[in-house]
Amino acid sequence: MTDMARNQSDEPMIAPTKKRIGMAQAVLIALVAGIASGVFFGEETRRIEIIGDIYIGLLQMMVLPYIVISLIGGIGKLTLSQARKMAKYALLVLLMLWAIVAGVIVMLPLALPDLQSGSFFSTSLLEPPRSFNIVDIFIPRNWFNSLASNKVPAVVLFSIALGIALITTKKKDDVIRPLDVLAEAVMRVIKFVVKLTPIGVFVMTAVAAGTMTFEEIGRLQGYFILYTIAVALLAFWVLPGLIFSLTPFRYKDIISIAWSAVVLAFAAGKVLVALPLIIEGLKELFGKYDPENEEAVAVAQVLVPIAYLFPSTGKLLSLLFIPFIAWFVGQPLTLADYPAFLASGIPSFFGSVLVAMPFLLDLMQLPADEIQLFLLTGIYCARLSDALGAMDLFALAGLVAAMSGGLLQIHWRRFPDRYPRHRG
């Protein structure tokens, strides 16, 4: 052996560094594995359903405390001018998002072919719809009861009122500092639970895929196709495209950071449990591009729980069911029908969808018992709505925070033709 060979053999071997799988990739793998397991094992997946229930319970355990603490402390930190500016931008962006989803609801049914009759479907009588009491839902007569009953609108309204009162209160820092400490402690617990997200997503997706029958899917495949196209269009093209074209954020970063919250909302069937992930995702996004912009981060943190109370594009997309049923029973809506339909439908979705849908069927003079088919679509479409709702909150809060923080940058050539090919 030569001296050169001996010297080379004495050199320590440097092991190649392994690239760790990020949370977004882990969640995607869990999602695919869950669907495959559900299809393969079927009803047997119910045996592990309790694991998913435990995961959701752990998340819900900390969500309401986090909302209360972040709203009171976040709003209390603002000045009156900052609060007015945030409200103005939020209303502008909210109306823009509603206009976009209204356009999708009008345009997509035009792709449906001519159909003579909907007699293929069987119908039956329904129980009277549950009443919607706006006072009980939004007014916290007993705040502790609202917390115990998980009445999010009442809890949020109480927190907003207290936060607004703090804006002009002297020595408010004596209250805000402890709230910041509590918020940090609660977020540590949430981050620990979030590390279990791939497990939770796998279990919940497996149970959902294992309990859905092909017969249920086949009965409404046309509506499923339309709904899936609409969600994909809005969640992965329109909403991220708006952020991309109006801010310095790259499309790749928007999708990768928001992905975990979107998948969690889909798997859990609840946007509420994804709120902390949306807030932390926006903090990460703004921290990556403008780490010193504390105002933008504060606006995003405050706005997400507030925006949750308003009908998101995910929730409003359920309005697509009305033109679909009208088409199926041979009474397709005309363009003249849509103004009254949308003007009545959007406000009605401030309450429960199950309360609004019978009202809209009656308004458009459609068979009332078609509500059964809407309930059937909820097995699949409701989860897509929640996924879109998470992206909607991310886009709404992100755009308003960017406007409030002086990061609004209109890039005319970015949207819509450039960002799908972005290689940054």
What pLDDT is stored for residue 399 in this prediction? Answer: 92
Span 242-254, pLDDT tens digits:
999 888 899 999 9
Give the total number of structural domains in the chain.
1
Is 9 part of a structural domain of the chain? no
CA distance 277 to 98: 23
pLDDT averaged over the chain? 77
Residue 138, pLDDT above cutoff 60? yes
Residue 106, pLDDT above cutoff 80? yes
CA distance 368 to 389: 27
Residue 293: strand, helix, or coil: coil
Is 4 part of a structural domain of the chain? no
Residue 165, pLDDT above cutoff 80? yes
Q: Choose from 14-18, 227-231, 332-336 the range with maximum mean pLDDT.
A: 227-231
Span 289-327, pLDDT tens digits:
888 777 788 888 888 887 887 888 888 898 888 888 888
> In the chain, what percentage of residues exceed pLDDT 70?
79
What pLDDT is stored for residue 198 in this prediction? Answer: 83
What pLDDT is stored for residue 422 in this prediction? Answer: 43
Per the model's pLDDT, the better-predicted residue between 234 and 111 turns out to be: 234
Span 355-407, pLDDT tens digits:
678 778 877 888 876 776 776 676 678 888 989 999 999 999 999 988 888 88
Span 67-95, pLDDT tens digits:
788 778 877 877 777 778 788 888 899 99
CB 347 within 8 A of CB 135: no
Residue 147, pLDDT above cutoff 60? yes
CB 186 within 8 A of CB 62: yes
Residues 85-106 have a mean pLDDT of 88
Closest by alpha carbon to 392, among 245, 238, 239, 286?
239
What pLDDT is stored for residue 91 in this prediction? Answer: 87
- Could you list the residue range(s) of the whole structural domain that residue 100 is in? 23-421
What pLDDT is stored for residue 234 in this prediction? Answer: 92
CA distance 276 to 272: 9
Is 337 part of a structural domain of the chain? yes
Structure tokens of 286?
Answer: 């703004």
Sign of CA dihedral 318, 324, 326, 329: negative
Q: Using CB atoms within 10 A of its CB, is residue 127 exposed (0-12), middle (13-18) or buried (19+)?
A: exposed
Is 16 part of a structural domain of the chain? no
Helices H / strands E in the chain, number of each:
21, 0
Crossing angle (nearest 10°) for helices 80-107 and 338-348: 130
Per the model's pLDDT, the better-predicted residue between 265 and 129 turns out to be: 265
Lowest mean pLDDT among 4-8, 178-182, 339-343: 4-8
Is 310 part of a structural domain of the chain? yes
Is 325 part of a structural domain of the chain? yes
> In the chain, what percentage of residues exceed pLDDT 90?
8
CB environment 202-240: b (16+ within 10 A), e (fewer): bbbbbbbbbeeeeeeeebbeebbebbeebbeebbbebbb
Is 147 part of a structural domain of the chain? yes
CA distance 37 to 52: 15
CATH code at 43? Answer: 1.10.3860.10
Lowest mean pLDDT among 158-162, 274-278, 397-401, 408-412: 408-412
What pLDDT is stored for residue 197 in this prediction? Answer: 78
Q: Using CB atoms within 10 A of its CB, is residue 362 exposed (0-12), middle (13-18) or buried (19+)?
A: exposed
CA distance 64 to 153: 11
What pLDDT is stored for residue 388 in this prediction? Answer: 92
Rg (CA), the chain: 24
Cis before 16 (ω within 30): no
Per the model's pLDDT, the better-predicted residue between 260 and 124 turns out to be: 260
Is 341 part of a structural domain of the chain? yes
What pLDDT is stored for residue 143 in this prediction? Answer: 74
Residue 11, pLDDT above cutoff 60? no
